[in-house]
Amino acid sequence: SLFAAPPEKDLDWNEKGVEGMYRFLNRLWRLAHEWVIRDDKVTEAQAGDDELRRKVHQTIKRVSDDMERFHFNTAISALMELLNVIPREPTVSWPVTREALEALVLCLSPVAPHICEEIWSQLGHESLIQETQWPTYDSEWLQSETMTVVIQVNGKLRAQLNLPKGADEDFVKQAALSDERVRKYVDGKEIRKSIYVPGKLLNLVVS
């Protein structure tokens, strides 16, 4: 019931909610066990490390905020999202994968203490999870690596592009001109001026 609705709302009992939570816990159990026993873990940095670590810290913040408001359903939803991005193959280094698994079971432990305690033990901890401090997040990892830039042609919205954070005007302009949604409004026309609001908007003035 914690997964299905916030505490202030009535809930009609539905066995599908129980089945969904059961599948989630089983997936978590299997994934943690597979990582613990695998013999091809990598300890050196991998390409997916930063993306997973960013998701971990974003999840810790979301769950901490939701738990404080007793919104257990959205907290559990955030943990499900985190589980979905923890890879089954070593495309992410073991230290970062372990960090993700530990954060997940720590944040889940208030609502599923028994299975989380067992996974915590599998991960090599001798102390009980209930004796462990709640995880903290690093605000530097909460920032996205991308920015959404609105692309206009003669002041009319034509596209929204997700681009690397900090990209300069030339990069944004080239990305816009490579986008089919924008090209059909500028092909065969002269770009007389471009107006760029850094990280927010690019307006191409054509005639």
Q: Which residue has better confidence, 130 or 19?
A: 130
Q: Which residue has better confidence, 164 or 70?
A: 70
- In this predicted structure, what is the pLDDT of residue 12? 53
- Selection from 34, 49, 131 nearest residue 97 by Cα: 49
d(CA 64, CA 68): 6
Segment 99-151, tens digit of pLDDT = 999 999 999 999 999 999 999 999 999 999 999 999 999 988 887 777 889 99
d(CA 165, CA 163): 6
Q: Please report which confidence band the pLDDT of residue 153 belongs to, taking 50, 70 and 90 as the band edges.
A: very high
* Angle between helices 94-108 and 15-37 in degrees, nearest 10: 150
d(CA 51, CA 146): 12
**Radius of gyration of the chain measured on its C-alpha atoms:** 23
- In this predicted structure, what is the pLDDT of residue 17? 59
Contact in structure between 119 and 62 (CB atoms under 8 Å): no
d(CA 35, CA 26): 14
Give Cα 150 distance to the centre of its chain.
Answer: 23
The full DSSP string for 48-94 is THHHHHHHHHHHHHHHHHHHHTT-HHHHHHHHHHHHHHS-SSTTS-H
Contact in structure between 141 and 134 (CB atoms under 8 Å): no
Average pLDDT over residues 53-75: 93
- In this predicted structure, what is the pLDDT of residue 15? 58
Please say if the pLDDT value at position 25 is more than 90: yes
Q: Which residue has better confidence, 201 or 15?
A: 201
Please name the residues in contact with 136: beta carbons below 8 A apart, sequence gap of 6 or more.
60
Segment 29-51, tens digit of pLDDT = 999 999 999 999 999 999 889 88
Amino acid (one-letter) located at 48: G
